Amino acid sequence: MATLEPFRALLYAPSIDPALVTSPPYDVISAAERKRLEGLHPYNIISIILGAELPGDEPGADKYARSAAHLRDWIAAGVLEPDDRPHLFAYRMDYEIEGVPGSSGGVIGALDLEPVGSGGIHPHERTMPKPRSDRLELMRTTQANLEPIWLVGGPGVVGPAVGAASQLAPLIDFVDPAGVRHRLWRLDDASAKSVTEGLNSPLVIADGHHRYAAAVTYRDEMRASHGSGPWDRTMALISDPAEAPPALLAIHRLTDLPVSDFSEGESLEPYAGDLASLVRHLETVGPGTVGVADSSGRWTMPARGPLDTAWLAGVLDAAGAAVSYEHDLEEVAAGVAGGNVAFLLAPIPIQEVVDSALAGRVMPPKSTLFWPKPRTGLLLRDQRLG
């Protein structure tokens, strides 16, 4: 089974407001959000996780070296400070979705890397080559884990540790622009021991498949030249699926495929409501029904397969459609107004995601959106610290 260990973290200096220097994960940051983050603070973590390409740069190389230089310079300047000793951390995110409150979180530590699907760690989505190579190159230059892999597991172990820590004053406490409250605590030695010794169930990767794959490749490279070392582990957040599960939102598809190109043979039923109403309808009926919308109308149709995203991926691949992915309904509406066809999906229940992963059924990329996202920059794991 998977092993989680305390690690000596890098944290921003206490004098720096975490609301100004942390960010969402690298792969959900739009161009507008990136510009906003860059303007918030000169030491915002965005400068490291998404290094900018400047005129005269060697393509695909200089931005990674620049990220590594930022990391080392910020440590030297005291912007980022190493913790006194290794710790596990409790993390909690409190949020609302359409007025309904929720809470998610878990324990952050250094997770032993192992091949996915081998018994302890299971993916739920396939990865794509470009994001894997991007994260691998950043890991090579920085020699650090800059964002935690997010996994689901540890029922009865992780949840109680977070619950106990939540009764204490947090190390970090702030609210992000989406209204999510983020809190972080160091676990005491007894709580940390209960987690490290009690974690005996398989884990499913919720978010960070590309980072996990990059970490495994990096470990193998380093082992070949240096043997075992801190690269044998990666920073990870483990959430209890029973006591503090993340919310799962749908990721919709925007395509250049006209409805007429696939409607023959499909059971399209006209839907009278608007786009928002159609999304709410899909949330109510759940997986098994897919929504379709273009500038002329909206429809529903049954998914012909055990998993909506897998079936739809086959339909779109067979048609040669260009596909983009969007979870924000306003962006979906803008795409439809601009001439795209939207395929709208219901959220997949978390237990279905876990069961599918443990059974070895890997979903297509962008099948799920785990939310809210852990905030990047709360903790970093510099492998030079162990």
Written as one string, the DSSP assignment of 144-184 is EE-S-EEEE--TTTHHHHHHHHTTS--SEEEE-TTS-EEEE
Please tell me the distance from the alpha carbon of residue 149 to that of residue 358, in angstroms, as a whole number: 18
Same domain, 79 and 170: yes
* pLDDT tens for each residue of 172-192: 999 999 999 999 999 999 999
Whole-prediction pTM: 0.90
Query: CB–CB of 53/124 below 8 Å?
Result: no
Would you state the pLDDT for residue 89?
98
Residue 236 DSSP SS3? strand
Question: Does residue 356 lie in a domain region?
Answer: no
Write the DSSP symbol of residue 364.
Answer: P
Same domain, 41 and 114: yes
Same domain, 242 and 274: no
**Residue 253: closest CA among 178, 168, 331:** 331
Q: How far is CA 54 from CA 47, 61, 70, in A?
A: 13, 11, 15
Would you state the pLDDT for residue 179?
95
Same domain, 162 and 226: yes
Same domain, 327 and 376: no
Across residues 294-309, what is the average pLDDT?
89
**pLDDT band for position 9 (50/70/90)?**
very high
- Indicate if the alpha-carbon torsion angle 370, 371, 376, 381 is positive or negative: negative
Write the DSSP symbol of residue 260.
Answer: G
Same domain, 56 and 17: yes
Give the rounded percent of residues in the chain with a pLDDT score beyond 70: 97
Q: Domain span at residue 282?
A: 251-346
CB hemisphere CA count around 43 (13 angstroms): 19
* pLDDT tens for each residue of 53-109: 777 777 666 889 999 999 999 999 999 999 999 999 999 999 998 888 999 999 999
Would you state the pLDDT for residue 280?
94
Across residues 187-210, what is the average pLDDT?
92
Across residues 232-241, what is the average pLDDT?
94
CB hemisphere CA count around 304 (13 angstroms): 7
- 229 compared with 320, residue with greater pLDDT: 229
| Cα distance between the two ends of the chain | 22
Query: CB–CB of 274/281 below 8 Å?
Result: no
Q: Over the chain, what is the mean pLDDT?
A: 91
Query: CB–CB of 319/257 below 8 Å?
Result: yes
The answer on pLDDT for 125 being more than 70 is yes
The answer on pLDDT for 167 being more than 70 is yes
Q: How far is CA 215 from CA 113, 121, 245, in A?
A: 8, 13, 25
- 372 preceded by cis ω (within 30°)? yes
Same domain, 186 and 138: yes
Same domain, 226 and 274: no
Candidate from 5-9, 243-247, 310-314 with smallest mean pLDDT: 243-247
Same domain, 66 and 199: yes
Across residues 190-206, what is the average pLDDT?
92
- 257 compared with 244, residue with greater pLDDT: 257
**pLDDT band for position 24 (50/70/90)?**
very high
The answer on pLDDT for 127 being more than 80 is no
- Indicate if the alpha-carbon torsion angle 382, 383, 384, 386 is positive or negative: positive
Would you state the pLDDT for residue 193?
95
Number of domains forming the structure of the chain: 2
- 55 compared with 235, residue with greater pLDDT: 235
Same domain, 138 and 243: yes
Would you state the pLDDT for residue 259?
84
* pLDDT tens for each residue of 256-290: 988 887 766 668 899 999 999 999 999 999 999 99
Letter for the amino acid at 78? G
Across residues 283-305, what is the average pLDDT?
92
Same domain, 184 and 258: no
